[in-house]
Amino acid sequence: MDIVICRDAEQAGVVAAELIVKKLGGNPAPVLGLATGSSPLGLYAHLKHMQSTGEVDLSRARGFALDEYVAIDYEHPESYHNVIRRTVVEPLGLDPELIQVPDGAADDVALASVLYEKAIQVAGGIDLQILGIGANGHIGFNEPFSSFGSRTRAVPLTAQTRADNARFFDSPDQVPTHAITQGLATIRESRATLLIATGEHKASAIGRMIEGPVAVAHPASILQFHPDLTVVVDEAAGARLVDGEHFLRL
């Protein structure tokens, strides 16, 4: 596990993007796992810059979004279909035909989830998974007490997650109650994972993920078993880390 503590959120985005490009190692057609939310925005912005300078070319990358709300209209600006298109596909010059988002609008979300998991397998698995973390320790929408063996499936969102995401909607009751998410086992099988977190509201979740016991009460703690995990945080999100001498401080 590599832990990088940056001065601020801006530096974290730059460092995370550079580490991703290094991890991809020139692979012209990598399979990416794509997070939405606020955390990776700086990272995506710097990847866009690197794309414009020719430092990386993601035009042949395939991508699988981590999650999508259930029963949301895809035209809604906060559907992850739209968010992924707006914040990732268009700015990074990805081919929309190669990018998939779980089908949260399907009549049968259980079947849609199984098919999504299958599509990841058929693509050969995820080379590099980009993650954020919820204040409650969720990754994807794997809320506390999700099974470590879980696969892509529909899940209920906790009250805390719905409250955290209310900022994206006109009113809290518009936040969907369920989502389809890649499972913890799905995420763990990614060949490399980079998790980015910034801000003091993430400090407790980051401390428990890295230095706490591995427990389903804190789903991100499963990443302690990941063979190739990089965590990039700013000072505020890293503030609860005790064993600082083992971490790279920029």
Nearest distance from residue 245's CB to ligand F6R, in Å? Answer: 28
Contacts with ligand F6R, 58-77, as mask; x by CB under 6 A: --------xx----------
Look-up of token digits 């993430």? 202
Kindly give, in sequence order, each residue whose CB lies less than 8 Å from that of residue 218, ignoring residues fewer than 6 positions away.
137, 144, 205, 208, 209, 212
Identity of the residue, 164 or 244, whose beta carbon is nearer to ligand F6R in the bound complex: 164
Choose the stretch contacting ligand F6R; rule: CB under 6 A; options: 1-9, 114-122, 127-135, 222-230: 127-135
Look-up of token digits 């940056």? 6
| 132 interacts with ligand F6R by CB under 6 A | yes
Contacts with ligand F6R, 22-61, as mask; x by CB under 6 A: -------------xxxxx----------------------
27 is catalytic: no
Residues 37, 45, 52, 75, CA torsion sign: positive
90 is catalytic: no
211 is catalytic: no
Nearest distance from residue 109's CB to ligand F6R, in Å? Answer: 17
- Burial annotation 101-114 (CB, 10 A radius, 16+ → b, else e): bbbbbbeebeebbe
Nearest distance from residue 90's CB to ligand F6R, in Å? Answer: 17
Give which of 21, 35, 19, 13 is closest to 220, Cα–Cα.
Answer: 35
CB-CB contact of 237 with 226 (8 Å):
no
Choose the stretch contacting ligand F6R; rule: CB under 6 A; options: 11-19, 71-79, 132-140, 227-235: 132-140
From the candidates 46, 138, 218, 226, give the one annotated as an active-site residue.
138
Tokens of 14: 């730059």
Tell me the C-alpha distance between 142 and 70, whole Å. 14
143 is catalytic: yes
| 13 interacts with ligand F6R by CB under 6 A | no
Contacts with ligand F6R, 180-209, as mask; x by CB under 6 A: ------------------------------
Radius of gyration (C-alpha) of the chain in whole angstroms: 17
CA distances from 19 to 46, 139, 180, 194, 203 (A): 11, 20, 28, 8, 22
From the candidates 78, 143, 164, 234, give the one annotated as an active-site residue.
143
Sole binder of ligand F6R in the list 13, 63, 134, 137 (CB under 6 A): 134
Residue 31 β-bridge partners: 62
Binding site for ligand F6R (CB under 6 A): 35-39, 66-67, 132-134, 138-141
Q: Cite the active site residues.
A: 67, 136, 138, 143
